[in-house]
Structure 1
Amino acid sequence: MNAHPTGRAQSAVVGVALLLGVTMLSLGVLTASIGTVVQSNADAADAGRVATDLDAALDPVSATGPDSGHVSFTDGKLRRVDRSVRLLNDSGVVRNESVDGLVYSNEHHRVAFSSGAVVRGTGENARFTADPPLATSENVLLVGVARLNASGPDTVDGTNQRVRLETNVSHRRQSLGNDSYRVAVETATPAAWERYFARQNATTTRRDFDGDGVTSVVGQYPGDRTTYLVVHDVRLVIRHG
């Protein structure tokens, strides 16, 4: 008996080895792909839950007095950001309100609460899941501004986080008289605000008022209107758990 493998046998062994290698490689790619899909779905679910939680916990127009809510996510980061809302007429800026904001982000998604609105997404894909407290008619402009006045940690990040948001809301309304006003909202998602202003028949421009790199969308409403500024003072306390 020939103790040495023939060329055909050797080819068969090599072929099996190659086949096993390709199979293992394919299984590895498939496993990685499934893992990516699962993580992407988890990130999307987190973003959706955070958007709902922020809208429920921070309700500056309807709420008055003390209240509390929660924001929960399995992975990601919730942080405070500096934001402003300005009102302008032909003379320039007549009111500058520091409103602050909360931004949640994970690897694939972003959700932000600022000045009473909740925006999900980035760039041209950003969209409102809760509209801002702005209202207009032919002769009246009502500008609602949600000022967080937040205290507590600047950032909460990691896995399986539950953040308590304690609020104590009060309201103050001021008449600004009859004039042609522009509303400038500082935001990292200008496209969503531009679409919103367009639905209100306002034209828009972009401007960085303070040179911090964050653009303000300036909405110009046509004609003179009796304008009211309503400040919703949220007085937010951020706590773990």
Structure 2
Amino acid sequence: MILTITISIKKRIIKKRNIIKKVRKIIVGIRYSQENKRNFDIQVKALEINNPRLPQLDQKTRWSSTANMLKDFLHVWQAIKIVISLSTTKSFEKNKEILILKDSEIAYLEKCLKIFNIFIKPTIKLQAEKYSTIYYLLPEVYKLYTRLEGLKEEINDLNFTDAINRGLIKLRKYYPKTGNINENNKSLYLALILDPRIKQEGLEVIGLSRNQAFEIYNRLKEVYNIFKVDFALANPPIEEAQSLALEDSDDDSDIYI
């Protein structure tokens, strides 16, 4: 779902301008020319750029690759600009005026990156292999609503507003922002309500002491484990299942490592 929305927004943005095509051409011109690559290393050292990476081309099959490409490209842009201006290779010599991006084009790429970055964490979180992800879905969906609508106001650019609106339309198609619980979505709400790992922070936010919150948290965890075990017994899998009980060591933070 998030991948579909990302692709929808990305296509809309890229169709509007050909700046990202220029970025790809520049990357190819450096990566596949020994002279340009050598000059790139020299300029990175001269400018003392921290943690430089020679950008890699994005790939259709990798959902975050365009964001990674733009992040690396913008970080070393000053070095790349000098490489293009000094280059005598066929890749750059005849197209220097076109390939040395204007400040307005760099600003456009920075806006693109802001939008693409919104989708990275939720996509990682919802693709986790170690834990079930159903109880994350609704919170992450509502975060997307908030972040996309906030970014639309922050960027205030018709090209980007149109792309973000298209993404929001797709998001509403999958998960309406408001509406009643029904057969299609009730399992999502049930998972959210029953999952105790989401509770502890919320209990503290409403003013309970840490000890009170911890006691309620432990009770919720007991109920949750009973529910999951009962469900497993009533619906035995074909293969032998691992323990469904939550352990104290269970922590979803490792999905970001």
User: Scaled by the length of structure 1, what TM-score is found?
Assistant: 0.24
Bigger proportion of residues as strand: 1
User: Scaled by the length of structure 2, what TM-score is found?
Assistant: 0.22
